[in-house]
Chain A
Amino acid sequence: MRNVLAIVEKELRTYFVSPVAYVVMTCFLLLAGWFFFNLLTQLQQYIQMAQSFQRFDMLEQLSISNAVVAPLVGNLAIILMFIVPIVTMRALAEEKKLRTDELLLTSPLTMGEIIAGKFLGSWLFMVLGIVGTLLYPYILFHYSNPDPGPIIGGYLAIFLITTTFVATGLFASSLTESQAVAAVVATVINLGLFIIGWPAQTVSGILGKVLENVSLQSHFESLAKGVIETKDLVYFVTVVAVFVFLAKRSLESTRYR
């Protein structure tokens, strides 16, 4: 355990002195804030319009949960899809490039500890960035009357999505010594997970069902609405497990080369 924490500490320190990390996190928070602000003011406009036209049926449909939380989670998922790979790209690729991977692999640390440490390091860094968005629910509760359920579900969704992308990023990073390639591969995997469900609408039968249950989007959408289902939680845990496992295998295979 202590070994893992040592790696985590080293990873975090690397992140906090790296300009890339700051730039990336700043971009993320800028975009997130921009989306949040726009969704909020757009909702305000819709409410005013519905009130002035006395469209009570429309007013009933406008809630913070529908109009702000759910779309924001969707937008953040897409931003994270591109941002997390940039954060994780150096996790294992850098070691290979600097040839410090030999040092690492021959050290008393087990493979599992290395992977766990790298994973937690990147994960904690992303979580700290997401903590920066806690300002938004504060604003929501201060100025309006949001339903806390979807907000809790939404944050759970964001954390799970981030964890998933950290896992894919780690795996991609383990495949190559080029950080750029790692970032691209991770992004492609993330995109793949996201869009694999799109044909589910038109494809019928068992394949349609399979696609839908493999797709990332269908699993976080209900979370963002405030409904927590064990099947969604299991999905995320499974995907993370698969990619972490693959990252470990990939790292181990370098031992045999």
Chain B
Amino acid sequence: MNPNESRKLARVAGLCSLVLLLFGIVPVVFGLPISLERAPLLALFIVVNLAGGILLLGASVVWNLEGLRSLVTARSSRMASNAAVYSAAVVGILVLVNVLAIRHSHKWDLTESKQFTLAPQTEKVLDGLTKDVTLRAFWRKAEQEQVKDLLTNYQRASKMVKVEFIDPVEDPAAAKQFEISQERTLHVQSGNDQVRITEPTEEKVTNAIIKVSGGEAKAVYFLKGHGEPELEDMASPRGYGYFKKALEDEHYKVGDLLLMTKGEVPADASLVVAAPTRPLLDAELQALERYLDRGGRLLAFLEPTWDQNEHNLVVTGLEELLKKRGISVNDNLVLDLELQLFAGAKIGVAPGAESYGTHPITENMKEVTFYGDFVREVRPNPDTPGATVTTLVRTSSNSWAEPDVAGVFDRHQASREKDDLSGPISIATAYERKTPAEAKKDEADAEKKDGEAAQDDESKSKDVTTRIVAFGDEDWVDNGQITRFAPNQDLALNTVGWLVDRGDLISIRPKKSKVAQLALTPAQTQAIFVASVFLIPELLLLAGLAVWQSRKWAA
């Protein structure tokens, strides 16, 4: 082969080798899987390209050794390579500048509602963090955009906040490890404390952070031994397993309370939940009274349970306890007139409620909650001295309170009489009583005289607040209903939240962009069309013609 031919071949080989190497390297750079088992064709493609590229490169070098040597030593090459190095250095510096800028980026939120910055309450919470908080977002890759903005804001605002995005479909082991039952769940953890939230808003996320970094979980005790639904039962529709899980996801500690053997409500109880279908013992009722008097919190579900033998509703004893405090639990059933598609009008025993009282628990409730089977009226006595008693939930105006309970349970009949109490009927009531510190102190002193243990120092100087919420139904938070009706869960958690009185939780008004006010008449629409689409371009063209013409005249 003469030198000319070999030089041409070398050139062709060199260029081809570059192409092969490029197509061999790009897939690797883009992180495509090169495993022989999963993608054998791709692996083959890459290997062939790389190998072929190297071979051809080698061949082109061999065929043009002379040419290469003179190229490398030539002055113009040195200058060219100097220039290349200089260019690379400049680009490199600019890239570095960018990397720095990304890490230390400063943000100005120009929107009116400041919706892309964190609220000052959140900043305060983040400033006060003493332990690391990890936010794990279980979203599918394609949907991660939805929460990326919000969560990155948290990460940027505090060094102690770490954010991880995990695709639960790609990494089911992680989802299992953190007990994620549905996608679009945010797992918030600090130390051993965890909270899971769905539909994260800034308010929910910040509150979750408050909960996990606030240390000890609040204890919620469920009364046991009177036919209550089982806390561990997640299988049957009547169990309370999902209610328990919802509470634990909100960082509450949930446990049973066998008051008849325990004797007293535990000192660490932040809330007692009672859903009895059989009578309580006197000793238990007294223990509850004592608990309430020292600032206890009670959530009572008064299920109207039919006693076959006595031929009336079971009297649990809670009714009297509640009546003393202005909550009237009545012996009736709230029935609703339902219109079923083909069966016509039917009397329903599972009413829905869309009307809520004025109370912190329900102030944001907009959706319908569902109750039943069998609900009874629970109404407040507004003239209760020293306490605030308010209705929380009301059924619709199609409902009524049926006093003939026997008729419903024995004969499966009911009819709406003229005298029956007509809807909306109150089926849930909230009670709050603040005992001022002085009164408590006197009581404590009196107790000391009797030789009983004095109250702890805190209650001597603090107001004692007792809160009770009573619902006329226990099924609305059972497995079947709490999983089917999200508003039921919302209301339940709001209720527990108010009862437990987490004073440290915050409320952040959701920030929205301004709602557009746009009401154009057809005339205005046409005007806008002409102006924005045609006017300016037309003026521009005319100006252009003028210039063109003036040049012609000048020539």
User: Which A residues lie at the B interface, using CB under 8 A?
Assistant: 16-17, 19, 22, 25-26, 29-30, 33-34, 36-37, 40-41, 43-44, 47, 59-67, 132-133, 135-136, 139, 143-150, 152-153, 199, 201-205, 207, 213, 222, 225-231, 234-235, 238, 241-242, 245-246, 249, 252-253, 256
Contact = CB atoms under 8 A, between A and B. Distances in A.
Interface in B488-531: 512-520, 524-525, 528-529, 531
A149 B111 contact: yes
B518 A226 contact: no
A41 B105 contact: no
28 contacts: A19-B548, A22-B540, A22-B544, A29-B536, A33-B536, A40-B518, A43-B516, A44-B519, A63-B512, A64-B514, A132-B540, A133-B536, A135-B536, A143-B524, A143-B528, A144-B516, A147-B111, A150-B110, A150-B111, A201-B141, A203-B31, A205-B31, A207-B29, A235-B98, A238-B94, A242-B94, A245-B87, A253-B83
A143 B107 contact: no
A139 B532 contact: yes
Contacts of A136: 532
A143 B107 CA distance: 30
A47 B540 contact: no
Nearest 9 pairs of A and B residues by beta carbon: A149-B110, A22-B544, A234-B101, A231-B105, A63-B513, A33-B533, A226-B111, A33-B532, A149-B111
Contacts, number: 166
B534 A44 contact: no
A225 B109 CA distance: 9
A147 B534 contact: no
B390 to A, nearest CB: 26
B533 A26 contact: no
Residue among B106, B112, B534, B541 with max Cβ neighbours from chain A (10 Å): B112
B23 interface: no
Given A44-B525, A149-B109, A201-B141, 5 more contacts: A60-B515, A145-B516, A226-B109, A226-B111, A249-B87
Interface residues of B, number: 55
Contacts of B116: 222, 225-227
Contact of B514 (A25, A147, A153, A252): A147
Contacts of B19: none
Provide the main secondary structure of the chain B interface. Answer: helix
Interface of B: 29-31, 76, 79, 83, 87, 90-91, 94-95, 97-98, 101-102, 104-113, 116, 141-142, 512-520, 524-525, 528-529, 531-537, 540-541, 543-544, 547-548, 551
A146 to B, nearest CB: 8
B515 A62 contact: yes
B529 A37 contact: yes
Nearest to A223: B110
Contacts of A231: 98, 101-102, 105
A44 B541 CA distance: 31
Contact of A249 (B29, B83, B520): B83
A63 B512 CA distance: 9
Contact of B112 (A47, A60, A147, A227): A147
A59 B528 contact: no
A256 B529 CA distance: 55
Contact of A213 (B102, B514, B528): B102
A221 B533 CA distance: 25
Contacts of A204: 31
B414 to A, nearest CB: 34
A19 B544 contact: yes
A65 B30 contact: no
A63 B511 CA distance: 13
Given A144-B516, A144-B517, A230 B101 contact: yes
Nearest to A136: B532
Contacts of A227: 107-111, 116
A33 B516 contact: no
B108 A228 contact: yes
A25 B541 CA distance: 9
A159 to B, nearest CB: 15
A137 B412 CA distance: 68
Given A22-B544, A145-B516, A213 B30 contact: no
A145 B112 CA distance: 11
A207 B30 CA distance: 7
A33 B534 contact: yes
